[in-house]
Chains A and B, each alone.
Chain A
Amino acid sequence: MPVSVFRRFAFTYGTAFAIFYVFARAQGLALVTVYPSFGIVLVGMHHSRDVADPAMEFLAPEIWWYGWMGSAAIGAYAVGLVAVLLPERLCRWFWPGWVWVAPVIAMIGCIYLTLPWFRL
């Protein structure tokens, strides 16, 4: 793969991942839910309280982080692939600075989504 093509992929992937990640986090779009105490992986986003008594939730802690990353990675990979396949002239409108602006905005978005924890 030529460096210029990889550059196009890398810049669009980094930009799209940040956007998709914060969107997946906000909307609960986890690709998988992992239950480490049981060694179970379920497709989609699940809550322990959906299948167990809410008071027993601590027995089955769930992990969505892998799922959020998976959702964002697939979305970003698709966007990166489209950017690679597009002709060079169509990609000129893409400002390379988005590759750092989008992550900064996504990080601020993540701080906003975490604020409820601080109110506990």
Chain B
Amino acid sequence: MATALLILHGLTAVALLGAITHQALAAWAPSRARRRSFFGRFRAVQGAAFANAIAALYAAVALLGAIVYLYFKIDIQPFLERDRHWHALSFFELKEDFAAIGLSLLPAYWVCWRRPAREPSQMRAILTAILAIIVWWSFLVGHVLNDIMGFGS
């Protein structure tokens, strides 16, 4: 059960990572010229079209993470402490904190993208960047922690 939830958590996180990266690049470096390169096409998306999906995916990933955390605390953390992986555990602590702060930003983020004409583009871009940093950090830390213990260990 825990493994299935962890895989689902990871897959949802991959979808979120892709969507938020597209949107963040579109907000910070909008493509105005002819889109010939991969990078040009990558950032040429309509950012507003991603907002609902990103908010829903973030909430889903956070919920799944909160459930998987129960198993992590019992089955994984004691072994990481035994093997003195203090840096990995501290990065994970930060992941928890950042994820919680990001979750609280979702309503403001959603409002900014819901009314793009009324909200300053700078505000939209900054909130998206903060969420993108949180998502990338959480993804990488989760990946590293998973690698330490290994699948099925």
Contacts and interface: CB of A to CB of B under 8 A. Distances in A.
B122 to A, nearest CB: 9
A107 B101 contact: yes
B42 interface: no
Contacts of A104: 130
A31 interface: no
B123 interface: yes
A110 interface: yes
A106 interface: yes
Interface in B90-118: 90, 93-94, 96-98, 100-105, 107-108, 110-111, 114-115
A106 B126 contact: no
Interface string A77-93: 00000000000000000
Nearest to B120: A96
Main SS at interface, chain A: helix
Contacts of B86: 117-118, 120
A99 B108 contact: yes
B130 A9 contact: no
- What class of interface size applies to chain A in its complex with B? 35 or more
Contacts of B101: 17-18, 21, 103, 106-107, 110
Interface residues of B, number: 35
B69 to A, nearest CB: 7
B123 A63 contact: no
A58 B100 contact: no
Nearest to B79: A58
Given A107-B101, A110-B98, 4 more contacts: A11-B108, A14-B105, A99-B105, A114-B90
Given A13-B104, A65-B69, A6 B97 contact: no
B70 interface: yes
A10 B77 contact: no
A107 B108 contact: no
A71 B71 CA distance: 23
B107 A61 contact: no
B66 interface: yes
B34 interface: no
A109 to B, nearest CB: 9
6 contacts: A10-B110, A61-B77, A63-B73, A99-B108, A103-B102, A110-B98
Interface hub of A73, A100, A120 (most chain B Cβ within 10 A): A100
Interface in A54-69: 58, 61, 63, 65-66, 68-69
